[in-house]
Amino acid sequence: MKIRLGVIFGGRSVEHEVSIITAIQAINKIDLVKYEVVPIYISKEGKWYTGRMLLDIELYSDMDLLERYAREVVLYNRDGRFVLQNKKGLFKKIITEIDMVFPIMHGTNGEDGVLQGYLDTIGIPYAESGVYASVVGQDKIFMKQIFKESGVNVVKYKWFFDTDYTNDSEKVIKDIEKLGYPVIVKPATLGSSVGIKVCHDEVELRDAIIDAIRYDNKILVEEVVNNLKEVNISVLGNYEHQELSVIEEVGSSHELLTYEDKYIGDGKIKGKGKMKSQGMASAKRIIPANIPDDIAKEIREMAIKAFRALNSSGVVRIDFLVDMKEEKAYVNEINSIPGSLSFYLWEKTAKPYPELLDEVLSLGIVSYKNKKAKTSTFSTNILEGFNGTKGLKGIKGIKK
């Protein structure tokens, strides 16, 4: 019997379009002998839709057409069954049941633990990292604090809230300048290089901060790594077992890897509304990375340490910054649901994309079983004889 798999993608995020690309790529490679795929698209307005037409990437260039023919739905637990039900209509018919969810959403409201929290609440099994790993993996400041405590190299940094800058910008600027120019300004919880800028002086720094505040209320500022080479590695597994991909070297025509470098590359988006990008597979890269063996060894060791520190699960990508002169590597960030699910790294590690997806989904089932085996409630008599009604106005008016 096939597993009915709900693939959730899109979402209220600046990485909405990237999520669509990653999801369609994955759906086209999922083993249809084992899984029956049910596409579930979340619009930028937060509406949930399903329907086979969602598998056509050209559809997303015409939202009026999508809303007219796709079914708006809700996903909930109905007496132990996880159902997709029509949101509109007099009788709100159940469309199908879902056995498991595969969240393929990047950035806020999807990769950051928000969706995972809802899935945990209704009790449905799902693949990839859980709530805590997702939350920390999305917040670059939480991430660095935990990595630093776990003995993982991170660059020197400062962080602040948007109100700190609004209330006393001079104090914030003075503190940041202790790092020395140039510095990199980042919104703390975004991905895909959105809102990130390199600053060489105070004027550029102030402009970058104002831009970053448009996206987030927490802002991260890091020192720039000299003699920089950016490399990535993917990790597959859970807290019990981890497998590493080859290491890639990612090229950029800019001072840092941009959104265009990551997702457009040579696969430029051409034509009205037509997405020709191959997601992260569009980026210019060298596989394996041209780095010394001792640095590669350090990166592999830190990748596993970082993965375990967050209790990650499924497939992730961990991005590193390497000072080639000092021969020292730093973890830049972990991507809990990486662009294109890093399939291009695993293909170079002799693991075809369908096999990678099957292992990710199998890990989701293992995670669900492990979670079910743990005690989540316990019997207590704490409410027996409780006399806490004193002082509660109106309590006497409640009829028995």
Q: Is the pLDDT of residue 227 over 50?
A: yes
In a domain, 391, yes or no: no
The total of structural domains in the chain comes to 3
Averaged pLDDT for residues 264-281: 47
Residue-wise pLDDT for 300-322, tens only, equals 999 999 999 999 999 999 999 99
Q: Is the pLDDT of residue 62 over 50?
A: yes
Residues 230 and 281 occupy one common structural domain: yes
Residue-wise pLDDT for 105-129, tens only, equals 998 899 999 999 999 999 999 999 9
Residues 199 and 284 occupy one common structural domain: no
Instruction: Tell me the sheet residues that pair with 83.
Output: 76, 97
pLDDT given for residue 251 in this prediction: 80
Name the pLDDT band for 383 (thresholds 50, 70, 90).
low
Residues 9 and 101 occupy one common structural domain: yes
Residues 80 and 24 occupy one common structural domain: yes
Q: Is the dihedral of CA 152, 108, 267, 101 positive or negative?
A: positive
Contact between 57 and 275 (Cβ < 8 Å):
yes
Q: Can you read off the two tokens belonging to residue 57?
A: 């990437």
pLDDT given for residue 343 in this prediction: 97
Task: Quote the percentage of the chain above a pLDDT of 70.
Answer: 85
C-alpha–C-alpha distance, residues 24 and 10, integer Å: 11
Q: Which of 167, 195, 223 is the last residue of a domain?
A: 223
Averaged pLDDT for residues 217-234: 96
Averaged pLDDT for residues 127-140: 97
Range of the domain at 198: 157-223
pLDDT given for residue 271 in this prediction: 34
Tokens 């927490």 appear where? Answer: 218
The two beta strands, 218-223 and 197-199, are unpaired
* Pick from 339, 342, 345, 332: nearest CA to 303: 332
pLDDT given for residue 375 in this prediction: 75
pLDDT given for residue 272 in this prediction: 35
* Pick from 263, 374, 369: nearest CA to 313: 369
Q: Is the pLDDT of residue 64 over 50?
A: yes
C-alpha–C-alpha distance, residues 303 and 341, integer Å: 16
In a domain, 381, yes or no: no
Q: Burial of 293 by CB count in 10 Å (0-12 exposed, 13-18 middle, 19+ buried)? A: exposed
pLDDT given for residue 39 in this prediction: 98
Residues 21 and 109 occupy one common structural domain: yes
Residue-wise pLDDT for 77-99, tens only, equals 999 999 999 998 777 899 999 99
Residues 230 and 219 occupy one common structural domain: no
Residue 372 neighbours by CB under 8 Å, 6+ apart: none
DSSP string, 381-393: -TTTT----TT-T
* Pick from 215, 277, 291: nearest CA to 249: 291
pLDDT given for residue 385 in this prediction: 63
Tokens 């993996």 appear where? Answer: 137
Helix (H) or strand (E) holding 355: helix 353-373
